[in-house]
Structure 1
Amino acid sequence: MSSTDGEISLGGYSGYSGYDRSAIDRSGQAEAFDLIGDHYDDAFPHKEGQLAAGEWLARELPAGSRVLDLGCGTGLPTARQLADAGHQVTGVDLSEGMLKLARDHVPGADFRRIDIADLERHDLGPFDGIAAFFSLLMLPRAEIPVALRMLHGQLRPGGLLAIAMVEADVNDHSIPFLGNMIRVSGYLRDDLRRVVRDARFEITGEESFAFAPASTDVPPEIQLFIHCRRIP
């Protein structure tokens, strides 16, 4: 493990070192999810794709693995799923309101308020596995490859990464979401595969699901779930 200019690099492969932090703008994102709170789980009651991807991660990891739930939200279903499988779970999120719910839902996990761009600074890794379910889509496209390289550095060699994104050709696009406005980005699936591979991950599996939220202000979507393994 080494550190340069305050950035922690695991395996010599830092993500945010040298990234223009003045370009980072999270304004309104955490506040929106603070207001959404447990209405999020009410609006998304059926999460078959996320449950399946979480089951893959929980099953493929060695017993008692250290797992990061990036953008953990309320802790449901992923942090609870991984903790119930006997793994050591660390969840991070920008929304303190979501984290409060997560601590109630999964008391055995460790939850912290950390921005993805600051994750390296906190020296929490290395992890055996990472779940990034619908957290990368909260970033502008220019930042997503940087975040993926950072996650590569937070994993042990051969570690597993499970990603979920919504298939959409959008960049930092504002949308109404459960009575609030958030900004999201997405890729078409071939472009998403390329970005993941460019960050030195092997894609070992992929699933897609047509998803219709219970809320009328959130349109139906295609959710992409990608199973990855860290290439040294």
Structure 2
Amino acid sequence: MSESRPEPLIIEPFSGAPAQLFVVLHGESAAPDQVLGLVAAIRQAFPQALIVQPHGPFGAGATRRWIARADPDAEAYVGLVAQAGTVLAGEVRALQRGHGLTGEQTALAGFSEGAAVALEAVCADAGLAGRALLFSTRFATLPQAAPALTTLHLLHGAADRVAPVDQARQVHGHLADLGGDATLDMASGVGHELHDALIRQSIARLQTYLPRRSWEAVMGSPDIRIDEYDADGGASDGPSGGGGTLH
């Protein structure tokens, strides 16, 4: 049986009202301290952001998960992740209402199981978030439709054996076929971890990538890109705009 869910960790803006909302989700069998490196990078790049780190609703102590059952079979996993995504969407909407923020000012970020749930949330609720950072996850299923108002940034270790990168390629290609806005960045030599190279690239995507919906209004449809880079280096190809803002 799950213990009572701990309160989320909240980092307030340096001063004044928040300009952005980041909701950062840990992976399975983990806790918010798993994503502290990512949170620190977001804090540095977006000092006016409100950063919320929820604990997964299920589990005990520091071992939390986002879905109601541990180790479900593949069929059950699909339904459990969809349920978790719907619940997360409701929680994000409540945060937005409480702080006077919109979906366009919101970004979801998740590692492993947290990323799978984040994808389900933005697919279930149109306009929930302008961006989603999806790190190293086994997606529950291929989306039936691409979220039109959300740019999806897939970030993956090329040597990940827990969530093989081939599935990330498949999801990225599927989103492209659906007309979605997605990037895929892969770091060579990186396994199933929230590696610094992936964190750095996620911040670069937030600061320099112009969402497809904005790009098309000015320049027409951009090319969809997959970037591969060494863990000691980086890449941020694709449509770009000014740094420092989410959108």
- Indicate whether the TM-score tops 0.5: no
Q: TM-score range by the shorter chain?
A: 0.3 to 0.5
The higher-RCO structure (CA 8 Å, 6+ apart) is 1
Q: Report the TM-score when normalising by structure 2.
A: 0.38
TM-score of the aligned structures, taking structure 1 as reference length? 0.39
